Every structure is written in C-alpha cells, then in structure tokens.
C-alpha cells in the first residue's frame, strides 16, 4: 500500500526490483524496458523507503567526502551512460558505470581511461621531493618531464574519445558458412595444432560450437542467444584462421585467410557491443565475454581490460563456477572458463594495484588433479596460471589490503622469488618443446611470456624495496629486472610483424612497460647510463612499428619525450658514438644480446643511482600499478 501511495505521489511507478538490485537506470514503466529486453518478469515488491524532504534531504544529498568513496561522476557523463536505448545497450560502457558506483578496480578520471601518464606524474613529483643530490640541470629534466606529462594529460580526453568513437558501428553481421564450420569442428580436436594452442579453444567445446553455429545458420536462436552465439562463433573462427595462417606456406593463401580472419573479428567485436545489460548470467554469456578478451588482446587498453574482466568474473560468480570447479563437478568448458577468469582477475588486480580481487577463491597448486579424466593442461598455460598465483599472493600485501598475515612481506617475498626461479627454469625447458608450438609463433610467444615473467618480477622487487620492515636492499636487482623486461619486449617486437604472432598472449600485461621504462629514465637522469639510454631508444623505436591504438600512441609519445629529455646528458664524442650505433640497424638493436657488465656503463653523473636511493633515508616510489 505504501509503495502504491509513494508511486502515485510522484506520478510514476517506482524503480523495479531488478533495476534496483543491479543499480541501473529504470524507465519506471510496467514492464520497464530493461526487464522487457531481458524477457524476465518486472516486479515491484520491495518496501520503499520514505523520501527525505526539506533541509534534511539537502544535507543527505551532499555527504562529506569519504576515503572509500569513488570518483565523482559528472551529471552529463552519468546521463550518457544510463540514458541509452534499452534495446541496444552497449556492453562495455555498462561495466564502466558499475565501476563508478562500486569504486572497483579502474582508476578513472572522468572520460579518461587508466593510462601511464597519471601514475608517471605522481612518480616524477615524488622523485623531485625525495631524491637528494641531483644537480640543477638533472632536476630541471625531471620538472620538464612533469610538464610534458601534464600536456599529454590535457589532450588525452580527446584522443580517448576519438579512438573509442572511430570503430562505432564498424563491421556487419557475418556467420561462418557450413563448410567452414565443419572444417573447424573436424580440425580443432585433432593434433593439427600443438597442445599449446589447443588449450585456447577449450573454453568453448566443439559440441557447443556446433550447436551455436548451426543455430545461427538455421535461425533457431532467440535474439539474445543470437548475439551471444555470433560473438562466440566468430571469435573461434578468427582464432582458428589466425592459427592456420601460421601453418600456411603459400603467401597468397595466407593473405586471403588473414583478410577473412579480420572480418570475423570485426563481426564478433560488433556483436559484443550489442549484448543487453540485463541478460541473465549463463555459460554462453561468460564464453562470449572471454571471447571478447581474446578479440581485444594486444591493445594494451587497461580500461577495456578491466571492464571485460569485471564482467567475466561477475558472471563466473553468479554461475558459482569457483565452488563448482574446486568441488570437482565442473565440465571442461566450465573448468577453462574459470581458469581464464582467475588469470585475468589476478593479473588485472596486480596491474592496477588493488588488493580487492573479484573472485574470492584460493587456487591450490594441485587443482588439475581434481579432473584426471580431462586432457592435461599444457605447460604453456600452466606457467601463466602460476604467474597469476604468484600475483595473487603479492597483491594481498599491497598497502590498501585489509588482509592480516602471520608472516611478513619479506618472508613471503623471498618465497615468491624462489617460486619465480622455478618458473624461470620451466620457461627455459618450454623453449625446447618444438612440436608443441604448432600453430603459434614460438619466438614471439616466448618473448611475451618472458615479458610477463619479468613484469611480475619487477613488481615483487619493488614491493620488497619499499617494505619498511626489512633492511635496505640494493637497487641493482631492480634495475636488472627492468632491463630484462624491456629487452623481452624489444625481442617480441622484432618477431611480431604478423598479427598472428600476438594471437594468444596474456593481454592484460602486454605493452604496458611504463614502470620499467621509468626506472631506466630516472637512472639515466641520475647517472647518464649509456646502456639504459640505448635500451630506452630501442623501446621507443619498436613501439613506433607496433600498431595504432590510443594506449600505444600515448605510451610511445611519453617514451619519446623522455628520450629527448635524456639525450642532453650525452654530449661528448664517445657517448654520441655509442648512441648512434642502434640507428644503423634496420630494426632496433636487440638488448637481449647486450651485456650489462660494469664496463658497459658510462657514469658521468654526480653519483650512482643506488647510492642516491639509500632506502634507509629515501624511498623509491615508482608506479607499481603500471606493470
């Protein structure tokens, strides 16, 4: 009765129960548009609280800022997010709206996605405050770097909008024909591809692919099922053709296959944006979201990474896949969907420096023993999962973590370093398994895996350096890890001329080497290190040859500005000769073959970087969340 009186007093119906629980905009019709699109009952049975009036309402409407409160949302932006027609709600912006309300993983500023500029600003400011002993010219370089980043920040809003708006409406619906569908169904389960590739098809079984494909061809799927099936089938088609290209010797055939693969990817990406907001959780929805991860991998877009990760983990939780998997009751599809969600969740939490993981689950080392009847997981994917498990442990020790540990970070960190040494040994063995790499570009995938490994290692060393409960540590290991991380990225760029080479990378830690680059930049400013400068130049050169996307454009612009600022410290003839050497090659010099002995360094600064960063007096504060 009270509900009806309250509604009639406003002249409209109250917000329906489902829209209220999902915290989305309700048009207050009966049924509302969201429930009607999702084909579910629209109920209003919850008790409605009395609305505040007068002065008391004004006080409540503008509460005092809270430490836990999320970033403020301009009214125009919120209206843009929620006033979208209900029959075609874009999938990615919906997740962004939820992240604003829940103050979840992504650090956002209005329309600007998470990127390296803002964290680098904070880092340079801290360097200026906390690094004693810098000469005026070197301090001036850091101040100039800060002004460059401010300029990039002011312009980034428009770049983001242009890059996001350029692909709207691109592509047209496309479904693989019967012959192609049969080809995929026959080849995927065979040994045509190596075991390393096979694991990337197992989140969608061949029986499910068959059902989805023929349902689309026979027009037997509902509207919502058709959208989900279109994403999944076209994503598998893109992945299948991309893998087949790596086995094709005829260049003309490979060119035609690549053209068709890109068309299937565009069709899948277009369908992904059309998934309705309130579609009920299902395994098919989760498979479509994970397919979206593979479709957008390599973009380096952490904002999109967070949106898809949160959507996948939310659906995974709604389906109770974590509990089902750890009880040993999951199907093979469910098992691999959960593994990908776990991997994405831990990697993203590690990247954006949050201790709040979306999946509240501990993955034991022996999890695969619960499913002895499944084909074993290939070592390639197991290494990525073990890296995610290491990140899971380190994330819980971040400063904003509410977790209480019996052991110190120092003890746990040392144990994690032992775990990383074990993973490195497995990496070296993995490189020798030539028969397992069929369908993948081995050298590029290994470089990407080593880049992922070194990114995690750099983060662990950073945490150990900034831990106040342990003795000061030398920065030598930290610098060495940063060098190896960037060296692996250069090697990856050397062999990534084909798009096929980056088809199966763990994309959430790809192409964001800003932490390592900033480590070298500060070292060059402090010590005029020739080797680090040459490595910085190689990274800037190879990113220039790698694709066109907003994150990459912003990253290489930042790197090139840092490079220009650093070059002023190398004025003598000997140093300029060393700087000119990398430019003589067709590709950037491969730092994997550089030796990092003390004799290779040319120190012309006031003092060494390690001595300037005495951790007992000053603390190296680098953007850990840029890994």
Q: What is the pLDDT of residue 487?
A: 87
Task: Give the confidence band of 518 by pLDDT, cuts at 50, 70, 90.
Answer: confident
Buried b (16+ CB within 10 A) or exposed e, 47-76: eeeeeeeeeeeeeeeeeeeeeeeeeeeeee
Q: Does 463 lie in the same domain as 545?
A: yes
Q: What is the pLDDT of residue 117?
A: 52
The answer to whether 287 and 197 have CB atoms below 8 angstroms apart is no
Q: Does 508 lie in the same domain as 411?
A: yes
Q: Does 626 lie in the same domain as 486?
A: yes
What's the per-residue H, E or C state across 307-344? Answer: HHHHHHHHHHHHCCHHHHHHCCCCCHHHHHHHHHHHHH
What's the distance, CA 605 to chain centroid? 37
CA distance 411 to 549: 41
Task: Give the confidence band of 315 by pLDDT, cuts at 50, 70, 90.
Answer: very high
Contacts of 41 (CB under 8 A, 6+ apart): 31, 35
Kindly state whether residue 403 falls inside one of the protein's structural domains.
Answer: yes
CA distance 460 to 483: 15
Q: Does 437 lie in the same domain as 569?
A: yes
Residue with the bigger pLDDT between 478 and 187: it is 187
CA distance 567 to 559: 12
The lowest-confidence range among 351-365, 444-458, 564-578, 598-612 is 598-612
Average pLDDT over residues 545-573: 70
The answer to whether 349 and 374 have CB atoms below 8 angstroms apart is no
Q: Does 134 lie in the same domain as 44?
A: no
Reference 452, options 493, 391, 498; nearest CA is: 391
Average pLDDT over residues 445-450: 84
Q: Does 429 lie in the same domain as 508?
A: yes
Average pLDDT over residues 462-474: 63
Average pLDDT over residues 520-537: 85
Q: Does 525 lie in the same domain as 433?
A: yes
Kindly state whether residue 183 falls inside one of the protein's structural domains.
Answer: no
Kindly state whether residue 275 falls inside one of the protein's structural domains.
Answer: no
Kindly state whether residue 324 falls inside one of the protein's structural domains.
Answer: no
> Quick one: residue 158, left, alpha or beta (phi over 0 = left, psi -120 to 50 = alpha)?
alpha
- Rounded to the nearest 10°, the torsion over CA 243, 246, 247, 252 is 110
Average pLDDT over residues 557-582: 65
Question: Residue 610 pLDDT > 90, yes or no?
Answer: no
The answer to whether 466 and 515 have CB atoms below 8 angstroms apart is no
DSSP per residue, 392-411: HHHHTTSTT-----SS-HHH
Report phi then psi at 195, rounded to 5: -65, -25
Reference 105, options 371, 306, 388; nearest CA is: 306
DSSP class of residue 502 equals G
> Up-side HSE of residue 358: CA atoms within 13 Å toward CB?
32
Q: Does 136 lie in the same domain as 48?
A: no
- pTM given for the model: 0.68
Kindly state whether residue 449 falls inside one of the protein's structural domains.
Answer: yes
Residue with the bigger pLDDT between 457 and 84: it is 457
CA distance 528 to 516: 17
The answer to whether 328 and 364 have CB atoms below 8 angstroms apart is no
Q: What CATH number is attached to the domain comprising 10?
A: 4.10.240.10
Last residue of a domain, one of 37, 52, 67: 52
Average pLDDT over residues 190-206: 91
Kindly state whether residue 251 falls inside one of the protein's structural domains.
Answer: no
Kindly state whether residue 228 falls inside one of the protein's structural domains.
Answer: no
How many domains are there within the chain? Answer: 2
In sequence order, which ranges of 166-203 are alpha helices (DSSP H)? Answer: 178-187, 195-198
What's the distance, CA 44 to chain centroid? 39
Q: Does 47 lie in the same domain as 122?
A: no
Question: Residue 340 pLDDT > 90, yes or no?
Answer: yes
Q: What is the pLDDT of residue 281?
A: 94
DSSP per residue, 565-604: HHGGG--SHHHHHHHHGGGGSSS---GGG----GGG----
Task: Give the confidence band of 182 by pLDDT, cuts at 50, 70, 90.
Answer: very high
Q: What is the pLDDT of residue 443?
A: 81
Average pLDDT over residues 171-192: 88
The lowest-confidence range among 163-167, 379-383, 481-485, 495-499 is 163-167
Q: Does 494 lie in the same domain as 402?
A: yes
User: pLDDT by residue (tens digit) across 206-227?
Assistant: 999 999 999 999 999 999 999 9
CA distance 523 to 608: 8
Question: Residue 144 pLDDT > 80, yes or no?
Answer: no
Q: Does 137 lie in the same domain as 45?
A: no
Counting every residue written for the chain, the total comes to 627
Residue with the bigger pLDDT between 584 and 410: it is 410
Kindly state whether residue 233 falls inside one of the protein's structural domains.
Answer: no
Q: Does 10 lie in the same domain as 122?
A: no
Residue with the bigger pLDDT between 68 and 379: it is 379
Can you give the residue range of the structural domain that contains 15?
1-52
The lowest-confidence range among 203-207, 261-265, 492-496, 556-560 is 492-496
The answer to whether 298 and 550 have CB atoms below 8 angstroms apart is no
């Amino acid at each position: 009765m009270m509900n009806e009186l309250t509604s009639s007093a406003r002249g409209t119906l109250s917000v329906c129960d489902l829209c209220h629980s999902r915290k989305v905009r309700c048009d207050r019709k009966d049924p509302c548009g969201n429930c009607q699109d999702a084909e579910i009952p629209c109920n209003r049975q919850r008790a409605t609280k009395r609305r505040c009036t007068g002065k008391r309402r004004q006080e409540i409407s503008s509460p005092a800022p809270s430490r836990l409160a999320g970033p403020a949302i301009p009214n125009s932006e919120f209206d843009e997010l929620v006033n979208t027609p209900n029959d075609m709600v874009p999938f990615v912006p919906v997740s962004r709206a939820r992240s604003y309300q829940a103050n979840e993983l992504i650090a956002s500023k209005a329309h600007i996605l998470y990127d390296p500029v803002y964290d680098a600003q904070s880092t340079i400011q801290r360097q200026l405050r906390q690094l004693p002993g810098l000469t005026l010219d070197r301090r001036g370089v850091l101040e100039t770097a800060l002004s460059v980043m401010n300029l990039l920040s002011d312009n980034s809003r428009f770049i983001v909008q242009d890059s996001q708006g350029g692909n709207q409406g691109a592509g047209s619906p496309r479904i693989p024909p019967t012959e192609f569908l049969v080809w995929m169904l026959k080849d995927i389960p065979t040994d045509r591809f190596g075991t390393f590739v096979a694991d990337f098809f197992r989140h969608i079984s061949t029986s499910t692919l068959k059902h989805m494909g023929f349902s689309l061809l026979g027009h037997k799927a509902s509207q919502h099922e058709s959208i989900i099936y279109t994403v999944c089938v076209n994503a598998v088609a893109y992945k299948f053709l991309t893998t087949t290209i790596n086995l094709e010797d005829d260049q003309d055939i490979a060119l035609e296959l690549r053209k068709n693969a890109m068309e299937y990817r565009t069709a899948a990406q277009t369908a992904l944006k059309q998934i309705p907001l309130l579609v009920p959780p299902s395994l098919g929805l989760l498979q479509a979201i994970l397919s979206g991860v593979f479709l957008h991998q390599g973009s380096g877009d952490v904002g999109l990474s967070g949106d898809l990760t949160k959507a996948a983990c939310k659906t995974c939780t709604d389906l109770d896949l974590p509990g089902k998997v750890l009880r040993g009751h999951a199907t093979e599809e469910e098992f691999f969907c959960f593994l990908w969600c776990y991997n994405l969740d831990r990697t993203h939490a590690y990247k954006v420096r949050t201790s709040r993981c979306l999946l509240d689950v501990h993955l034991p080392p022996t999890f695969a023993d619960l499913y002895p009847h499944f084909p074993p997981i290939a070592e390639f994917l197991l290494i990525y999962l073990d890296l995610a498990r290491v990140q899971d442990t380190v994330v819980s020790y971040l400063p904003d973590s509410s977790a209480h540990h019996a052991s110190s970070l120092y003890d746990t960190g040392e144990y994690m370093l032992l775990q990383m040494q074990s993973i490195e040994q497995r990496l070296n063995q993995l490189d020798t398994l030539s028969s397992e790499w069929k369908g993948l570009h081995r050298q590029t995938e290994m470089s990407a895996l080593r880049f992922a490994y070194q990114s995690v290692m750099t983060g662990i060393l950073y945490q150990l350096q900034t831990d106040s409960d342990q003795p000061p540590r030398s920065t030598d290991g930290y610098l060495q890890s940063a060098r190896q991380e960037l060296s692996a990225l250069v090697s990856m760029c050397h062999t990534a001329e084909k798009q096929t080479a980056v088809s199966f990378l763990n994309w959430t830690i790809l192409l964001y080497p800003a932490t390592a680059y900033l480590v070298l930049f500060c070292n060059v400013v402090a010590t005029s290190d020739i080797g680090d400068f040459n490595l910085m130049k190689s990274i800037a050169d190879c990113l220039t040859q790698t694709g066109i996307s907003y994150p990459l454009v912003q990253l290489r612009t930042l790197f090139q500005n840092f490079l220009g600022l650093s070059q002023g410290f190398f004025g003598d003839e000997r140093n300029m000769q060393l700087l000119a050497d990398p430019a003589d090659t067709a590709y950037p010099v491969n730092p994997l073959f550089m030796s990092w002995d003390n004799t290779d360094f040319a120190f012309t600064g006031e003092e060494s970087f390690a001595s300037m960063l005495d951790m007992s007096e000053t603390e190296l504060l680098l953007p850990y969340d840029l890994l």
